[in-house]
Amino acid sequence: MTPRSEPREKVDTWQQITDRIREAIPPPYYSSIIAPLRVISVENDSITVGVPNSFTKDVILSRFIHEISSAASQVCGRNVDIILTVSSSPEIVGTIASHDVEDEVIPENGDKKAGSFKPTPQKKYSFENFVVGDSNKFAYSAALMVAEFPGHNYNPLFIYGGTGLGKTHLLKAIQDYSQTMNPNIKVKYVQTSRFIDEFIATLTLKRDKATFDNEYINNHIVMFDDIQALGGTEACQNKFFDIFNLLYGSNSHIVLSSDRPPVEIAKLSARIRSRFVGGLMLDIKPPDLETRLAILRMKARAETVEVPDEALVFIASKAKDNIRTLEGLLNKVVAYARLYGTRIHLQMVQEVLKDQVAESDRSKKASVDLIQNLVSNYYCISREDLISKSRSRPLVKGRQVAMYLCRELTDETLIRIGSQFGGRDHSTVLHSCKKVESLLKQKRDVFHEVSDITNIINKSV
Ligand code: ADP
Ligand code: MG
């Protein structure tokens, strides 16, 4: 929307300049950064432009000032300086999340610009299906900023918080979103334990070190999930430090997640720790009741089931510190309702979850060891058989259930679980989990077996 008081000529000049800029930068950046700018004055040797906030100003100065100056010089036929001034004038509308609707540019792929999300429930990890509450709002907005403007502020971004609170979700959302915005962007996501395993394999199998390094350094965004795993192994820390510095030096954005703050990561070298705290550190806290309910409502909608509020409140009271557990409880209720063709209501939920021990009342977590033992006992098979390579039917079933429960009830990654099941690959573990998830929805006996074993495990920890 153009202020009426602006002389035509000034506006025309700016219009011509922005037309040129539009050709020079990717559409999503044009719509979120350039479109909201307003020309304030055009002088002989300078043009003053109003920007909506200091964040946009920083982004322009570090990323787009050259494109704007050269477009302005071409249009004016002389060298002109661009002066950016943060203006809260109503004409300079909005922020990254909201700006003048008339300025919206629909990128070529037909999606709307940054900040206006359409729900796409088929994606597991995206910003759209991340429920924002007081406990996670800062981590969420910082992650979104990185996805939109990698290499800019907040480098590295360090997100920490307990298990199941959405760290991996945010990292994967950064990947999904930045690649949707800019299909040419290179993003690397890695579980730190995998980084370590692959680096050790490079050393022991004498693989090409440069190939390993290149996987990481030639990217715009590199994310290390569960970086707390780095503590301890010195050779890996040195390798990480070198890669970190190369990335940082080339303005790649580094995103780290951890289940604890850097000071609490044991055996982490001081120089790495100081790099971690040198950027932006944000924590995710356990969600309050309102956020847990919002998450449950979203998941229930995605499952297209009706769950009355009182039943949601009951489920939310059973898992306060871990959203993965919260989801698991809802899944269990939904599976039961489908298997028995019943409606979901408070009494039914209380019955299905009656043996569920509230997380906060639990003294410690189950271990892979414990789960393997209890599952073996339950199915009357030996532990050796459970983790063996045998493909006999009862063994395969017991093994898959055991892997599923390890995934559900411990903090172990797929990789670690696989290694404790006779050195299986993480994709095998994932396949087993998916298999059991689908059996739970189809077979009452599997549902009851898994419920029984879960209760036995919960009582044993
Ligand atoms: P972490 O990496 O912190 O252990 P995850 O990112 O794996 O946790 O999250 C666990 C589960 O909870 C995932 O299925 C994730 O989609 C879900 N989840 C976590 N936080 C949210 C949120 N704010 N909104 C919706 N789902 C969430
Ligand atoms: Mg995670």
Structure confidence by residue, pLDDT tens digits, 327-374: 999 999 999 999 999 999 999 999 999 877 665 555 567 899 999 999
What is the C-alpha to C-alpha distance for residues 232 and 454, in angstroms, rounded to an integer?
Answer: 33
- Does residue 164 line the site of ligand 1, with CB under 6 A? yes
User: Ligand 1 center to residue 163 CA distance, Å?
Assistant: 9
Question: In this structure, which amino acid lies at residue 366?
Answer: A
Does the pTM surpass 0.75? The reply is no
Q: Which protein residue's CA is at the shortest distance from atom 11 of ligand 1?
A: 324
Asked whether residue 106 carries a pLDDT value surpassing 90, the answer given is no
Ligand nearest to the CA of 172: 1
Q: Which protein residue's CA is at the shortest distance from atom 25 of ligand 1?
A: 130
Helix (H) or strand (E) holding 386: helix 383-387
pLDDT for res 363: 54
pLDDT category at 113 given cuts 50, 70, 90 is: very low
pLDDT category at 28 given cuts 50, 70, 90 is: low
Q: Looking at residues 230-256, what average pLDDT do you find?
A: 94
- Does residue 407 line the site of ligand 1, with CB under 6 A? no
Residue of 117, 175, 192, 324 to mutate, ligand 1, most atoms within 8 A of C-beta: 324
- Does residue 295 line the site of ligand 1, with CB under 6 A? yes
pLDDT for res 461: 80
User: Ligand 1 center to residue 184 CA distance, Å?
Assistant: 27
Asked whether residue 408 carries a pLDDT value surpassing 50, the answer given is yes
* Closest ligand 1 atom, residue 411 Cα: 4
Ligand nearest to the CA of 227: 2
pLDDT category at 460 given cuts 50, 70, 90 is: confident
**CB 262, CB 268: distance < 8 Å:** yes
Ligand nearest to the CA of 140: 1
Asked whether residue 64 carries a pLDDT value surpassing 80, the answer given is yes
Contacts of 115 (CB under 8 A, 6+ apart): 32, 96, 97, 98, 99
pLDDT for res 78: 92
**Residues 233-243: b if buried by 16+ CB within 10 A, e if exposed:** eeebbebbeeb
- Does residue 136 line the site of ligand 1, with CB under 6 A? yes
pLDDT for res 293: 97
Asked whether residue 254 carries a pLDDT value surpassing 50, the answer given is yes
Q: Looking at residues 151-163, what average pLDDT do you find?
A: 91
Residue of 165, 170, 289, 434 to mutate, ligand 1, most atoms within 8 A of C-beta: 165
Pairing of the two strands 46-51 and 38-42:
antiparallel
What is the C-alpha to C-alpha distance for residues 254 and 225, in angstroms, rounded to an integer?
Answer: 11
**Residues 275-291: b if buried by 16+ CB within 10 A, e if exposed:** bbeebbbbbbebbeeeb
Pairing of the two strands 157-161 and 187-191:
unpaired
What is the average pLDDT score of the chain? 86
Q: Kindly list the protein residues that place their beta carbon closer than 5 angstroms to ligand 2, a single-atom ion.
A: 167-168
User: Ligand 2 center to residue 163 CA distance, Å?
Assistant: 7
* Closest ligand 1 atom, residue 163 Cα: 4
Asked whether residue 120 carries a pLDDT value surpassing 50, the answer given is no
What is the C-alpha to C-alpha distance for residues 325 and 166, in angstroms, rounded to an integer?
Answer: 12
Asked whether residue 399 carries a pLDDT value surpassing 70, the answer given is yes
